[in-house]
Structure 1
Amino acid sequence: MLFVARVTRAAEGNGGGCCRAAMVTNPVHGLPFLPGSSFTDSTVLKFSAYFQEDVPISTEEHYRIRQVNIYYYLEDDSMSVVEPVVENSGIPQGKLIKRQRLAKNDVGDHYHWKDLNRGINITIYGKTFRVVDCDQFTQEFLKSQGIELNPPEKMALDPYTELRKEPVRKFVTPSDFDQLKQFLTFDKQVLRFYAIWDDTDSLFGECRHYIIHYYLMDDTVEIREVHERNNGRDPFPLLMNRQHMPKILVENAKNFPQCVLEISDQEVLEWYTAKDFIVGKSLTILGRTFFIYDCDQFTRQYYKDKFGMPDLPRIDVSKHEPPPVKQELPPYNGYGLIEDSAQNCFALIPKAPRKDIIKMLVNDNKVLRYLAALESPIPEDKNRRFVFSYFLATDMISIFEPPVRNSGIIGGKFLGRTKVVKPFSSVDNPVYYGPSDFFIGAVIEVFGHRFVILDTDEYVLKYMESNASQYSPEALASIQNRIRKQDAPTQDVPPEDTLAPGSESMQATEEPKAQDLDTLIDTIQMHLKDHSCKDNLREAFQIYDKEESGFVDKEVFFKVCDTLNVPVDDSLIKELIRMCTHGEGKINYYNFVRAFSN
């Protein structure tokens, strides 16, 4: 490819004389090409910099700033550092570093013009130079090479040199303010302010009232404390004696011994004046912050005439009762009832929680009793029966296991009277079992033990009929089925306690009616419409049904149901299992699968 070269020269006047650079430009792309042989000896980049030098043996200066010029020669990439000569400086100045290639690091790399920029630090022979600016030619050259320049900085000045430029003597023009005239004009005229010091944020702090007097004759301030009767404090008349109050101190006068020496104008930049005392603002006097909330009538008139403030309203600083803090109880630890544990947070000597006396009088001696079986994988627990007693007066439950002779299990009290928390309820806000949770087929979990309600007594049936609104349709349906079976003619029907899932006595002697089975299946489909569809349920049963008879054993049936998470604890599902159970412990899974199909 053939390129046509165009040679341009740029000249810029700088400290090194006329600098010219021959640049070859690609006419197609416009990018400059700078070979080393194209530069002459006068092509130099100039940077302004400074470095700090410590002065350990002088009492007047601790360090000095020395300004230098850094020259970079493009011909051979060499550099030099020159300090401008200052007359009578007493410091050897001139060329600090001769022209040479300077090492950039310990590896042996040398400084290149690409490494130089404004606003950077470069280290040469152990000294750190701060580059602050460059000349116009250097700026244009670096921009033409695609280098983004940092903004220029101000050259640092030597503090000792600046100090010597100040005049040797300083004269203070005497003030033309006539103190005698002020004394004669404002004699016996005092501004009175009412203020508070609120120290309630500190330990044992309180809100105290004060009166601040400002004497116009000499601009002095006096602070008096307002004592209340029987406040427990000594009746000292003054908190602070009449004196001039400094507002802003000199930096070196913060540790001035004010307790033994008098403050003068040399230690104070600004004093408190009358314009600093305004109603509604705070001011700090000797470390205490006072809030001015009111003043007298003379003070209001003075501020109106002097400063043009027509209205200085009084500010209400009376303490209002804070809103009552809501008492938060600590987390429940799980021991005893939550009502009993909460009493330890209300009083040092806990009292018994309040009881519903009306409920106890109405439901006195009313007990609901249920017969239940224990759901357990242990074979010895399948035939165990328990009597649940629900006391309507206190909502407590007790469990009793009737002793069975030669069973190997000691019967008796299984659980004393207590309230039983429902599973999955929060610890801080527990939900207890109520009468509506007990019905035939319901599963009750008591401290990790699962019980299935098998039967009830006659009083429970009457109570449910009289309080039908408290029970769900599912609970009422279970009672209706029990009453219907009692009213049916005597036949070989197994007792109700054999309806527990997995029990070996769960069987029926006759085929269920097709109409009742279809009604139950429709009810289950409506009840479990939100439940996930078990499309592979039939396939799982067919794997175990090698003869394709439509029946499987009870153990296989419950194993498949447990694997596919079928809710066999539901009372409707239990009734369906009972209707699908036939002799010899076989279950017809065809009718069972219909309830879970689409």
Structure 2
Amino acid sequence: MELGLEPETCNMLTKSSPIDVQPRPSNSKTAFHRSQTLNYRNGYAVVRRPTMGIGGDRLHYNQLSQAELDELANKAPILTYGPLKQAPPAEFVPAHVAFDKKVLKFSAYFQEDVPISMEEHYRIRQVNIYYYLEDDSMSIIEPVVENSGIPQGKLIKRQRFTKNDVGDHYHWKDLNRGINLTVYGKTFRIVDCDRFTQDFLESQGIELNPSEKIPLDPYTQLRKEPVRKYVTPSDFDQLKQFLTFDKQVLRFYAIWDDTDSLFGECRHYIIHYYLMDDTVEIREVHERNNGRDPFPLLMNRQRMPKVLVENARNFPKCVLEISDQEVLEWYTAKDFIVGKPLTILGRTFFIYDCDPFTRQFYKDKFGMPDLPPVDVTKKEPPPVKQELPPYNGYGLIEDSAQNCFALIPKAPRKDVVKMLMNDNKVLRYLAALESPVPEDKDRRFVVSYFLATDMISIFEPPVRNSGIIGGKFLGRTKVVKSFSPVDNPIYYSPSDFFIGAVIEVFGHRFVILDTDEYVLKYMESNASQYSPEALASIQNRIQKQDLPAPELESKQATGEPMVQGTEEPKVQDLDALIDQIHMHLKDNPCKENLRETFQIYDKDESGYVDRETFFKICETLNVPVDDSLIKELIRLCTHGEGRINYYNFVRAFSN
């Protein structure tokens, strides 16, 4: 079978380079390695035709060009008989290999509303849209602008964007200049693309729209406008000031008096004024155990504005530094004068002294020879006299006053010496109730005055068939006189109790009718405490006891009073008195061995004993002979010659 070849193909086959004659290899060859046939291009392994053989010998190969070799490879001889053989198909290349690292870049922008700002209503934000050809994914990235205050960078991470509700995704055929791209509810306007993107789309037969310009952001343009007025720099040489006044500091001693505010106090500070740059520094003076944190500086070193411009009142001083354009006048050295207040950042300091260097500087610079220090030590105010609030009338005033002295009131102090000296010393009086009610005329009361505590108690002896329940009428308490003021009460004292005296106790008036012998002895030993009227009543009481019976009866018959200012007390019968004593002593134990003791001393069994023996027995057995009722019983049981019938006396102490 004959092969039919084209003339052009035959010419290409006949073209060959002359054969190079190489000398035969010698036995001295030492390298027998094979040449490399593999190579890497753009990260992929490709086959390479070797040019050197084993041992480094040059290979004999056809000198045809690569284009001629490719054309020759595609040529197929036509058979003499039958159709020509089809050319082999092109080699398959996957998309991730063909479009690897090939990205389309589009420039776009979107408009964002700003509803909470008075200076801008909307904002133009520029973005870059990247389309990755290898997997048809896209990403949107916003270039980062320094100090923009907006979170920037990757807005939408790399993914396939959905373009409709059916679920179709955006393809590079859908992208072009001058179109809107809606992604996740936000519309992006594509205005331009790079050179590679333009060439790729045009190669695929897509006609690109003309490019557009990104509109300007109004707020950014507003910030670029000149808003400050430039001031011509002054002729003052700051370098000369620095070299002249370097390391020269004025020191002032000042106080900040904040005592007018709640929990305020007077605090001391040191103000430093640096002459080299007119800056001010304030340091706080700390004392030991003052309870404050030891911060070294109250105000850091800085220039202090004195007068601000009108528009700088709302200047954010806590965020930004005040420049020369916001200040009309700064504090200088002439503003710091000893003896005058100075307001710095809303706080008023009073300068009361300075150091010797500062005095000399003011003398040389401003002609102030005398800067006397000011005494700022405050004298202790006189102690305020504590006055008690007005007494409300409840309880004792001493107990109520303790609530003003301590949070937890304590019992008022007692006169311990008086309590020890007058312990168990009680003055007893027989009193009648002064009342317009007829039933109260015959009521009798025993008023007891306790010398240890100056308290008064009133007891009413029960009387049978009187219709009045006797017993305790008033417990132990201090009784205030009716005419005494409420805030300074005057209590009843022993000098107010005598025969014929009227005692008003909480609205009830009592007339003293009689006393016991202990009261008579107490008044005789303390006569200086009593008035002449009280002593006269006691003398009449003693004269009444010393009068014989006939004379006493004659005085009673004539109606002559025994005691000045009082009536003769009514004498009760013996049985009624014994019943009263039974009721009075019902809480005390009965003296069971009282009768046996009297019978021991009654040798002749007459039923009488003398007064000395009687009182000796009563003292031994603790019989309350000082009680007014007991004294009345002793008087009724006493007969002539000082003898006492102890049978009737014992009846009062038996059941």
Normalising by structure 1, we get a TM-score of 0.50
In the alignment, which residue of structure 1 is the partner of 2:269? 210
1:431 aligns with 2:490: yes
> Equivalent residue of 1:343, what SS?
helix
CA distances 1:107-141 after superposition (whole Å, capped 9, x unpaired): xxxxxxxxxxxxxxxxxxxxxxxxxxxxxxxxxxx
The 5 A counterparts of 1:65-84 are none
In the alignment, which residue of structure 2 is the partner of 1:370? 429
Amino acid at match of 2:331: Y
CA distances 1:471-491 after superposition (whole Å, capped 9, x unpaired): 222222333333344444322
> 1:196, 1:210 within 8 Å by CA — same for their partners in 2?
yes
* Root mean square deviation, CA, Å: 3.4
> Equivalent residue of 1:422, what SS?
coil
Amino acid at match of 2:365: K
Of 525, 530, 551, 1:466 maps to: 525
In the alignment, which residue of structure 2 is the partner of 1:445? 504
Of 353, 358, 361, 1:299 maps to: 358
Q: 1:426 to 1:287 in 2, by over 3 A?
A: same
- Once the 2 structures are TM-superposed, how far is the Cα of residue 309 of structure 1 from its aligned partner? 3.0
How far apart in 1 are the matches of 2:421 and 2:356? 72
How far apart in 2 are the matches of 1:446 and 1:350? 28
In the alignment, which residue of structure 2 is the partner of 1:253? 312
1:481 aligns with 2:531: no
> 1:194, 1:209 within 8 Å by CA — same for their partners in 2?
yes
In the alignment, which residue of structure 1 is the partner of 2:17? none
Of 395, 404, 409, 1:350 maps to: 409
> Equivalent residue of 1:224, what SS?
strand
Amino acid at match of 2:283: R
> 1:187, 1:217 within 8 Å by CA — same for their partners in 2?
yes
The 5 A counterparts of 1:533-552 are none
Of 443, 463, 484, 1:404 maps to: 463
In the alignment, which residue of structure 1 is the partner of 2:244? 185
* Farther-moved stretch of structure 1 (223-232 vs 353-362): 223-232
> Equivalent residue of 1:441, what SS?
coil
> Equivalent residue of 1:211, what SS?
strand
- Once the 2 structures are TM-superposed, how far is the Cα of residue 174 of structure 1 from its aligned partner? 8.2
The 5 A counterparts of 1:117-516 are 177-228=236-287, 233-318=292-377, 323-488=382-547, 489-494=551-556
How far apart in 1 are the matches of 2:409 and 2:568? 48
> 1:248, 1:270 within 8 Å by CA — same for their partners in 2?
yes
How far apart in 2 are the matches of 1:178 and 1:355? 84
> 1:454, 1:500 within 8 Å by CA — same for their partners in 2?
no
- Once the 2 structures are TM-superposed, how far is the Cα of residue 228 of structure 1 from its aligned partner? 4.4
CA distances 1:152-188 after superposition (whole Å, capped 9, x unpaired): xxxxxxxxxxxxxxxxxx9999866554443333222
> Equivalent residue of 2:528, what SS?
helix
How far apart in 1 are the matches of 2:333 and 2:238? 16
In the alignment, which residue of structure 1 is the partner of 2:630? none
Amino acid at match of 1:475: A
Q: 1:345 to 1:472 in 2, by over 3 A?
A: same
Q: 1:481 to 1:499 in 2, by over 3 A?
A: closer
Q: 1:464 to 1:290 in 2, by over 3 A?
A: same
Q: 1:229 to 1:275 in 2, by over 3 A?
A: same
> Equivalent residue of 1:490, what SS?
helix
The number of equivalent residue pairs is 336
> Equivalent residue of 2:334, what SS?
helix
The 5 A counterparts of 1:7-156 are none
How far apart in 2 are the matches of 1:230 and 1:383? 77
In the alignment, which residue of structure 1 is the partner of 2:605? none
> 2:527, 2:535 within 8 Å by CA — same for their partners in 1?
yes
Bigger CA radius of gyration: 2
> Equivalent residue of 1:380, what SS?
helix
How far apart in 2 are the matches of 1:499 and 1:226? 82
- Once the 2 structures are TM-superposed, how far is the Cα of residue 295 of structure 1 from its aligned partner? 1.6
Which segments of 5 or more consecutive residues in structure 1 lack a partner in the other structure?
Answer: 1-169, 506-598
